[in-house]
Amino acid sequence: MDISVVVPLFNEEESLTELTEWIVRVVEKESFTYEIIFVDDGSKDQSWAIIKQLATKNKAIKGLRFRRNFGKSAALHEGFKAAEGRVVITMDADMQDSPDEIPALYRMIVDKGLDMVSGWKKKRHDPISKTVPSRFFNWTTRKISGIKLHDFNCGLKVYTNELAKNLEVHGEMHRYIPLLARWNGFTKIDEKVVEHRKRQYGKTKYGMSRFVKGYLDLLSITFTARFGKRPMHLFGTLGTFIFIIGFGIAAYLAYAKFFMAAYKMTERPLFYFGLLAMIIGTQLFMTGFLAELVSRSSAAQKTSYSISERINYSPKA
C-alpha cells in the first residue's frame, strides 16, 4: 500500500464527508493505493455515525473510536499503530489542511529518501491571538531543539512507515514530533510550504491552556531525551557539586573553630547553609541512583488507549 492518511478528529461532523471525498479524489487521480484512518477522539456529535456511513461505501476507510477524549497525541499514536502504508500522512479534519498537498509530500519522501516532511503554513488564516503565540512557540522550539523548521505544530506532515511505528506520542507531544523523530535517530527531516485554508466548519480547539501545556511538554521531552536513560548524569552531578560546597563550608568552619578562635560553629548562619547543602546534595545523589535502578530494571511499556469501536480494522496480535 502506498499511503495511509491518518485523520485525528473531535466533533467535526460538518467537514468529514467533504474531506473524505477530497482525499479520495486526489489519491485516486494519482493511482495511489491507500487507506484513510479516522481516529475519533471521543466526539459528542455525529462524527462517528458519519465515519461508519463513509466506511460502508469505501472499504479503504477505517475508523477507531476512543471511549473518551484523550487528546490529539493519543489519536495520532493509535493512528500510527494502525497505519499500513509505505508513507503515512497526517492532517486535521477541520478542512484547513489541503489534501491537494498529498502527492507532492509523498514524492518528497519517496524521491528524496527523507524520513519526514513537515508542513509550513507560511500564510496563515488564523486570528492574531493564535498566530502570535504560535510564532513565539516555534521560535523557542527552534532554539532549544536546533531543528530548523518554521512550523512544528502544523497538522499536515508526512512520514515513512518505519518512523511512524517508532513514535511514542502522548500528552501534548504531537507538537514536538520532529524532536521525537530526531531523538529516535531519524534525522532526514525537511519542510514544505503548504496551503492553509480558512476555517469553514466548527471552532478551534486551541486555547491558552494548551499553550502552557505545550511548554511543559517541551521541558519534559528535552529532559527525557537527554537524561531519560542516564538520570545519574544529571542528579549525581548536581548532588555531588552541591555536597562538595556544603562539605567545604563545614571544613572551613571546623578549621576556624580550632585554629582561629572564631565563633561557635552553630552560632554562624553559614553553618546551617553548609549543612543544608550537604543534605540536598545527598538527596539528589540518591535520587539519581534510584532513578538509574528504575531505568535499568523496568521494561519498556507501550502506551495504549481505550478504544470502544473499530471499523474495517483489526489490530494485529
Rounded distance, CA 234 to CA 285, Å? Answer: 9
Question: Do residues 19 and 95 lie in contact, with contact meaning Cβ atoms separated by under 8 Å?
Answer: yes
Q: Indicate whether 97 and 154 sit together in one domain.
A: yes
Residue 109 lies in a domain: yes
User: In this model, does residue 305 exceed pLDDT 80?
Assistant: no
Residue 303 lies in a domain: no
Lowest mean pLDDT among 44-48, 191-195, 210-214: 210-214
Give the pLDDT of residue 45.
93
Q: Indicate whether 43 and 167 sit together in one domain.
A: yes
Q: Indicate whether 36 and 129 sit together in one domain.
A: yes
Q: Indicate whether 64 and 169 sit together in one domain.
A: yes
Residue 312 lies in a domain: no
Lowest mean pLDDT among 27-31, 155-159, 223-227: 223-227
Indicate the Cα dihedral angle 253, 254, 260, 261, nearest 10°: 100
Give the pLDDT of residue 314.
78
Q: Which residue has the cell 529516535?
A: 184
Single residue among 226, 258, 287 that ends a domain in this structure: 226
Mean pLDDT on 37-43: 96
Residue 304 lies in a domain: no
Whole-number percent of the chain with pLDDT over 70: 83
Please state whether beta strands 116-120 and 61-66 pair in parallel, antiparallel, or not at all (unpaired). unpaired
Q: Indicate whether 74 and 99 sit together in one domain.
A: yes
Residue 283 lies in a domain: yes
Question: Do residues 60 and 36 lie in contact, with contact meaning Cβ atoms separated by under 8 Å?
Answer: yes
Q: If pLDDT is split at 50, 70 and 90, which confidence band does 299 have?
A: very low
**Higher confidence at residue 163 or residue 253?**
163
Give the pLDDT of residue 197.
82
Evaluated on CA atoms 16, 18, 21, 24, the torsion sign reads negative
Q: Indicate whether 190 and 281 sit together in one domain.
A: no
Q: Tell me if residue 124 falls in helix, strand or coil.
A: coil
Question: Do residues 151 and 189 lie in contact, with contact meaning Cβ atoms separated by under 8 Å?
Answer: no
Phi, psi of 49 (to 5 degrees): -60, -40
Residue 100 lies in a domain: yes
Single residue among 226, 243, 267 that ends a domain in this structure: 226
Q: Indicate whether 130 and 23 sit together in one domain.
A: yes
* CA geometry: angle 35, 171, 2, nearest 5 deg: 15
Rounded distance, CA 283 to CA 156, Å? Answer: 45
Q: Tell me if residue 34 falls in helix, strand or coil.
A: strand
User: In this model, does residue 71 exceed pLDDT 50?
Assistant: yes
Q: Indicate whether 71 and 210 sit together in one domain.
A: yes
Q: Indicate whether 53 and 189 sit together in one domain.
A: yes
Residue 317 lies in a domain: no
Q: Indicate whether 212 and 252 sit together in one domain.
A: no
Residue 67 Cα distances to 38, 46, 82, 171, 307, angstroms: 14, 15, 17, 17, 6
Domain range spanning residue 287? 231-296
Q: Indicate whether 249 and 219 sit together in one domain.
A: no
The total number of structural domains that make up the chain: 2
Single residue among 226, 253, 282 that ends a domain in this structure: 226
Q: What is the DSSP letter of 175?
A: G
Predicted model pTM: 0.74
Residue 155 Cα distances to 120, 194, 264, angstroms: 9, 11, 65
Residue 310 lies in a domain: no
CATH number for 174: 3.90.550.10
